[in-house]
Amino acid sequence: MSTFEVQSELYEETDFATTDAANGNSISKFTFVYPKRLEDRRNNSNQWENGKSNDSDSDCAEKYANGGKCLNGSTNSINKDQDESESVTENGVSLDKDEHSKSTKLDLVGLQIWRGALLLADYILHYEKRFKNRKILELGSGVGLTSIVSSFCAREVICTDINIGGLLKLIQANIDRNAHLKDPDCNVVVTELDFKVKYEDYSEYLKTQLQDVEYVICADVIYDDEITNAFVLALEGLLLELPKLKAVYIALEKRYVFTVEDMDSVAPSYEHFLRVFYRRNNRFGIARWKLKQVSTNFPRYFEYEKVKDLVLLKISN
């Protein structure tokens, strides 16, 4: 593993109002706004509990794609370019991070937050109807932001990563810190899931937890070819073993480099992932699962630069 220090671009583009915590760590606040329909439901506990709503993800996505009417209508946006920022209620996910984790060695990148996590969080907020009352597994959760957002609407969230640098303890602390934001009925479990361990070698506890998972989500886990190879095998295990799995969502930022070999800008980690996935998926001569790119043309609820190289992939049967 490389000993280079790496830093998420997020820390250069946004002020996370970082404050010192009593335990010597720092707390960053990731502000967001709820889509209006979610906020309305939260404000009306009867509706929330009875699950009654006139939720219409597709309508909203369509309106947004057709000129952003939804931003002024049924969706509050954090987009400060819109003249409606005064009417927006800002909320925040507060995350406890090791003080020195603005830049980390490559093997501790989970201590930072990457743009992909916020893109995926936005997607879940926008399409919360799809994830409502579902069981969600997050892989490579980092400090847990996307799992925390999933807990706003899911029935159960299994938040996983490798247990390195105190990551799992940090995730649990972050989940506890943001417990007031979650759906009161949602159960969140933090446990280790290492891509390098084969499904058959998972603990009985983990296998039991995973059995009724309906969605797998992950953000920015494609950045190192060796980890990507293990990630694809782990995905394959989950796709084969989880009977209720409907889809896997993978958010990532394509990172371009110019190579003399290609005489062009290429995104080597992303291309490596596609190659390895394609090879595994087609190894019996026919594609077993569908991989497609999902439109990222949904509103931004968190504060970050939604750069064009952010990609959301969906794998399903």
Ligand X SMILES: C[S@@+](CC[C@H](N)C(=O)[O-])C[C@H]1O[C@@H](n2cnc3c(N)ncnc32)[C@H](O)[C@@H]1O
How far, in Å, are 58, 153, 239 from residue 138 at the CA level?
A: 24, 14, 14
Smallest gap from Cβ 227 to ligand X, in A, equals: 5
Residue 137 engages ligand X in binding (rule: CB under 6 A): no
Part of the chain binding ligand X (CB under 6 A), chosen from 84-92, 218-226, 290-298, 299-307? 218-226
| Of the candidate residues 39, 68, 132, 162, the single one contacting ligand X (CB under 6 A) | 162
| Of the candidate residues 27, 70, 78, 109, the single one contacting ligand X (CB under 6 A) | 109
Q: Lay out the sheet containing 91-97: strands in order across.
A: 19-20, 26-32, 91-97
Q: What are phi and psi of 269, to 5 degrees?
A: -70, -40
Smallest gap from Cβ 296 to ligand X, in A, equals: 15
Part of the chain binding ligand X (CB under 6 A), chosen from 70-78, 90-98, 136-144, 303-311? 136-144
Residue 149 engages ligand X in binding (rule: CB under 6 A): no
Query: Residue count at the site for ligand X (CB under 6 A)?
Result: 20
| Of the candidate residues 30, 98, 110, 171, the single one contacting ligand X (CB under 6 A) | 110
183-212 residues near ligand X, rule: CB under 6 A: 194-196
The smaller minimum CB distance to ligand X, of residues 64 and 298, is found at 298
Residue 140 engages ligand X in binding (rule: CB under 6 A): yes
Binding mask 253-282 for ligand X (x = CB under 6 A): ------------------------------
Please report how many Cα atoms fall inside a 13 Å half-sphere around the Cα of residue 156, on the Cβ side: 11
Residue 222 engages ligand X in binding (rule: CB under 6 A): no
The CB-nearest residue to ligand X is 110
Q: How far apart are CA 152 and CA 248, in angstroms?
A: 19
Closest CA to 194 of 185, 186, 203: 203
Direct distance between the N- and C-terminal alpha carbons of the chain, in angstroms, rounded to an integer: 34
| Of the candidate residues 149, 157, 219, 312, the single one contacting ligand X (CB under 6 A) | 219
Smallest gap from Cβ 64 to ligand X, in A, equals: 24
Residue 17 Ramachandran class (φ > 0 left, ψ -120 to 50 alpha, else beta): left
The smaller minimum CB distance to ligand X, of residues 40 and 194, is found at 194
Neighbours of 267 (CB within 10 A): 18
CA angle 121, 21, 153 (to 5 degrees): 25
Residue 131 engages ligand X in binding (rule: CB under 6 A): no
Q: Quick check: 99 and 280 in contact, CB under 8 A? A: no
289 Cα distance to chain centroid: 21
| Of the candidate residues 220, 235, 239, 313, the single one contacting ligand X (CB under 6 A) | 220
| Of the candidate residues 38, 221, 248, 312, the single one contacting ligand X (CB under 6 A) | 221
Q: Which distant-in-sequence residues (6+ apart) come within 8 Å of 170 by Cβ?
A: 96, 97, 98, 111, 143, 144
**Eight-state DSSP code of residue 106:** G
Residue 95 engages ligand X in binding (rule: CB under 6 A): no
- Residues engaged in binding ligand X (CB under 6 A): 109-110, 113-114, 116-117, 140-142, 161-162, 194-196, 219-221, 223, 227, 230
